[in-house]
Amino acid sequence: MNISCLACVVAIASFLAVTGCSTEKDAFLNRNFHALTAKDNILYNGKNALKEGREGLITSYNDNFWEVLPVERMEVVEEKALSGGANNPSFERAEEKAAKAIQKHGMNIRGRERNPQMDEAYLLLGIGRYYDQRFIPAMEAFNYILDKYPDSDKHHQARIWREKTNIRLESEELALQNLKDFVYGTELKDQEYADASAAMAQAYINLQHKDSAIRKLKIAATLTRKNEEKGRYNYIIGQLYDALENKDSANLAYEKVIALKRKSPRAYMINAQLQKMRNTEVTDSVEREERLIFLDKMENNRENRPYLDKIYHYIADFHKQSDSIRLAEEYLNKSLRANEGDRRLKAMCYEALAEMNFDRNEYKNAGAYYDSTLTQLKDDRRKIRAIQKKRDNLEDVIRYEDIVHVNDSILRLASLPESERVAYFEAYIEEIRAEDEKKREEEEERAAASGTFNPFEEQANPIGQAGSEGGKFYFYNQIALGQGKTSFRKIWGDRELQDNWRLSNKSMISPRDSAEEKQSEMVAMTPDERYDVSFYIDRLPTDEQVLDSLKTDRDFANYQLGLIYKEKFREYPLAIGKLETVLDSDPEEKLVLPSKYHLFRLYEMVGSGKTAAAKEDIIKNHPGSRYAEILENPEAVLAGEANDPETYFTSLYKKFEAQQYETVVRETERYIKQHTGEEIIPRMEMLRATSLGRLYGADRFKEELNAIALNYPNDDIGKEAQRKLDEAAALANDAFMAGEDGPGRWKLIFPVSKDNITGTRELMENMEYFSLKYPYYKNLSISRDVYDTDTVFVVVHGLRNSKDAEAYRELVNNDEECVIDTENFLILSPDYRTVQVHKNVDAFKKKEIQQEP
């Protein structure tokens, strides 16, 4: 009996299971079976995955507190969104569970969904896609709920999520209109109203309507039941008030964040405290002391360790405002050491350190900090340009200060008596010996602490080099490596790491550059040499020519520094010091007068009592000079070239265009000599170089370009010269074409003495006569082209092919009415360019003679 009853029960259960599994039958049993199975199995797991993904998103998301926070903690990465999603495993799992519930338990019968859990499934599907940054598919899921489930209890949530998706798709106006209609026409729960208000706030923030965003965020912060959201919304309200420069209202919002304490993430509270302090001015010593006590508590609170970088940065700002620069620098460096990835904060610290060093006139350190600032800036192009401009302005200062420092040191040591040199280097060796000993002891202590110290093991070289022989591998042997570098520079010069480094034009190095290279070159040494006085003394230059070169370079660097401090940085005392140093050092004659004139102007600017004496010195000792003319009669000179270098440059360029190359060379050389150091000089140098190239050819042009590139490496003209040098390889080929024919590629050339002005004019008139006499040649043009210092070419352009060219030349040479007995020859246009570039017309004529039958 029991067995038969059990069998009946099993049979009935099996029958009910089979009949209840159908998704196409609208029956009570079917609906509840699929609803229960979907809810307690598939959707349950999907919701857990979604919850896990959202918690991970909140935990891993790094807020940028330097800008207004987004209302929702989710960063949309455009590349991921375009490639198909952010690929978060938790959100993918949530979407898979939702899709599975819809596929296996959906009961769409006669256009109506009969499973009451399917709205939950579609909402889960849409939210999963939203967080996976697949916004169009997410929109489809939310719209499906709104269309197919008008009576669902998830209807309100679906509408809010749909408008959040519209905001992500940058349709803020549409989202705001839909949310307004929804909020004002629907009875909502507090959390739903909070979510809708928060979404509207984000839309207003995107549209830069800060006041409207604040109103909606206040509603959201009041109604939400989630403390994390309360803290975030109130912090954003404070940021928006800060943006509107309403500090009091901002501080009230920050106080609400602080009052939550541990109920919301600590990051909100710490940043709210720091921002509130920034908004509150310290007015007396009592408040300052209280602020310092509070900051000390923040710094020493163990819970604040993840935020020490921001705390230290604020403390540095606080000390800087109180003119405690040393403490400010100390805390900026602490902030950098505590920083764990906030690039914006690192950039701010480096920039602040750069400004402090700049204010102290420590420009080399400032340049290094600006370099570090640039490495931390990523997307802020405006900031990058501003920092780069400051860094570029320091480039020349750093270079010239290095030259002054190195050359001064060498010259000072070279001028000392032998006994004082020995004493100096003995003291230096004692210092490095003590430093090496200290390093060795520290290494032994570290090794002993780690249990790896062996007192019988041979100690490493104190300067980190191999022994006298070095390692077997070339690049591990410092001595061989140093010798190799020296040998390479002797042969090839200073080369950048780039393609085609062997090009010959790059081997041309000025004496000044070579001297600097030798000074800065690291000298390979053995351990014994490191502690040997004679090793150092033997390397001091003694040749008078070398010492004079070092002195010349130092004086020129000091002069350039004086102008830079005067013109770029407005550091007048520094400029005065540099220029006075130049005059005190018995410089080259070309630096004396401009140094005196710039000093006169600087004395005027600072109101020095030396102004009158400086003026009298220039007028008395340099009569007839440009500067004396300026001081004696400034009104007359003002209208001339002296005070208007641009006008003078323009006049010279017009002469250049008129092919008056010798005049341009002569006048630019005079100007460069008299106006050393002025801003327009590199342009004058380039105009002179181009004129010399037109007169003497490509080799001279490249030589002049090389000098400009080396003398003005940081100026735009110097960079242009280097670019032209790099392109000059195309000019190296001086071979002629093999007589290839082609339309419009022939010229008839008449070489004429440059002094024969009358003959040149008559020849050009005769050529124009031929064009009028023979209409077939009416489209030909005539020009006068300078070839070199002795010769000009009268050139007939426009001969279409070799037959036309030969016929025209025959006509010119044999016309009875207009006899022309001037030597002439035909040339292809590319060959004419080669002749002008390389000044090798004789080689071309020789080639033509050899080719004649």
pLDDT tens, 115-164?
566 777 778 888 888 888 889 988 998 888 888 887 787 888 889 999 99
Average pLDDT of the chain is 79
Instruction: Among 39-53, 614-628, 653-667, name the one with the lowest average pLDDT.
Output: 39-53
Contact 820, 763 (CB under 8 A): yes
pLDDT of residue 498: 58
Q: Is 129 exposed, middle or buried (0-12, 13-18, 19+ CB in 10 A)?
A: buried
Chain-centroid distance of CA 288 in Å reads: 39
Contact 78, 85 (CB under 8 A): no
Q: Please determine, for residue 779, whether its predicted confidence score (pLDDT) is greater than 60.
A: yes
Which of residues 806 and 11 earns the better pLDDT score? Answer: 806
Percent of the chain predicted with pLDDT > 90: 22
Contact 562, 570 (CB under 8 A): no
pLDDT of residue 501: 55
Q: Whole-angstrom Cα distance, residue 339 to residue 157?
A: 40
The structure tokens listed for 827 are 């040339």
Q: Please determine, for residue 662, whether its predicted confidence score (pLDDT) is greater than 60.
A: yes
Mean pLDDT (whole number) for 380-391: 83
pLDDT of residue 147: 83
Q: Whole-angstrom Cα distance, residue 768 to residue 784?
A: 13
pLDDT band of 512, cuts 50, 70, 90: very low
Q: Whole-angstrom Cα distance, residue 276 to residue 800?
A: 82
Class in CATH terms, 545-638: mainly alpha
Q: Whole-angstrom Cα distance, residue 147 to residue 180?
A: 20
pLDDT of residue 26: 52
Contact 645, 623 (CB under 8 A): no
pLDDT of residue 219: 94
* Spans of all domains in the chain: 1-168, 170-249, 341-415, 545-638, 655-698+706-731, 746-851
Which of residues 345 and 42 earns the better pLDDT score? Answer: 345
pLDDT of residue 249: 94
pLDDT band of 514, cuts 50, 70, 90: very low
Contact 620, 641 (CB under 8 A): no
pLDDT band of 187, cuts 50, 70, 90: confident
Sequence-ordered list of residues with C-beta below 8 angstroms from that of 501, at least 6 positions apart, any chain:
492, 495
Tokens 């250049």 found at? 656
Instruction: Among 368-372, 661-665, 710-714, name the one with the lowest average pLDDT.
Output: 710-714
Beta bridge partners of 782: 796
Instruction: Among 209-223, 376-390, 769-783, 787-801, name the one with the lowest average pLDDT.
Output: 769-783
pLDDT of residue 110: 53
Residue type, 87: N
pLDDT of residue 511: 35
Region of 409 (left: φ > 0; alpha: ψ -120 to 50; beta: rest) is alpha
Q: Please determine, for residue 51, whether its predicted confidence score (pLDDT) is greater than 80.
A: no
CATH of domain 1-168: 1.25.40
Residue type, 491: I
pLDDT band of 537, cuts 50, 70, 90: confident
Region of 739 (left: φ > 0; alpha: ψ -120 to 50; beta: rest) is left
Mean pLDDT (whole number) for 839-851: 74
> How does DSSP assign 353-412, residue by residue?
HHHHHHHTT-HHHHHHHHHHHHHH--S-HHHHHHHHHHHHHHHHHHHHHHHHHHHHHHHH
Strands 108-109 and 746-753: unpaired
Instruction: Among 384-388, 512-516, 645-649, 748-752, name the one with the lowest average pLDDT.
Output: 512-516
Q: Is 755 exposed, middle or buried (0-12, 13-18, 19+ CB in 10 A)?
A: exposed
Mean pLDDT (whole number) for 288-307: 92
Confirm whether 1-168 and 545-638 share one CATH topology: yes
Q: Please determine, for residue 27, whether its predicted confidence score (pLDDT) is greater than 50.
A: no
Instruction: Among 686-690, 698-702, 755-759, 818-822, name the one with the lowest average pLDDT.
Output: 818-822
What pLDDT, in 10s, does the model give residues 59-108? 767 888 889 999 988 877 654 544 455 567 777 777 777 766 666 655 55
Closest CA to 787 of 737, 843, 833: 833
Q: Please determine, for residue 468, whether its predicted confidence score (pLDDT) is greater than 50.
A: no
Chain-centroid distance of CA 443 in Å reads: 39
Instruction: Among 392-401, 619-628, 635-644, name the one with the lowest average pLDDT.
Output: 635-644
Instruction: Among 32-46, 417-431, 659-673, name the one with the lowest average pLDDT.
Output: 32-46
Q: Whole-angstrom Cα distance, residue 191 to residue 156?
A: 11
Which of residues 684 and 53 earns the better pLDDT score? Answer: 684
pLDDT of residue 89: 79
What pLDDT, in 10s, does the model give residues 252-276? 999 999 999 889 889 999 999 999 9
Which of residues 737 and 823 earns the better pLDDT score? Answer: 823
Contact 636, 626 (CB under 8 A): no
Q: Please determine, for residue 631, whether its predicted confidence score (pLDDT) is greater than 50.
A: yes
Instruction: Among 391-400, 425-434, 523-532, name the one with the lowest average pLDDT.
Output: 523-532
Name the helix (H) or strand (E) containing 138: helix 135-148
What pLDDT, in 10s, does the model give residues 563-587? 888 877 888 898 999 999 999 999 9
Strands 746-753 and 781-786: unpaired
Sequence-ordered list of residues with C-beta below 8 angstroms from that of 830, at least 6 positions apart, any chain:
737, 745
Contact 347, 386 (CB under 8 A): no
Closest CA to 316 of 360, 273, 348: 348
pTM: 0.60
pLDDT of residue 650: 85
pLDDT of residue 201: 94
> How does DSSP assign 433-493, residue by residue?
HHHHHHHHHHHHHHHHHHT---TTSPPPPTTS---SS--SSGGG-HHHHHHHHHHHHHHH-
17-31, 300-314, 371-385, 691-705 — which one is most confidently predicted on average?
A: 300-314
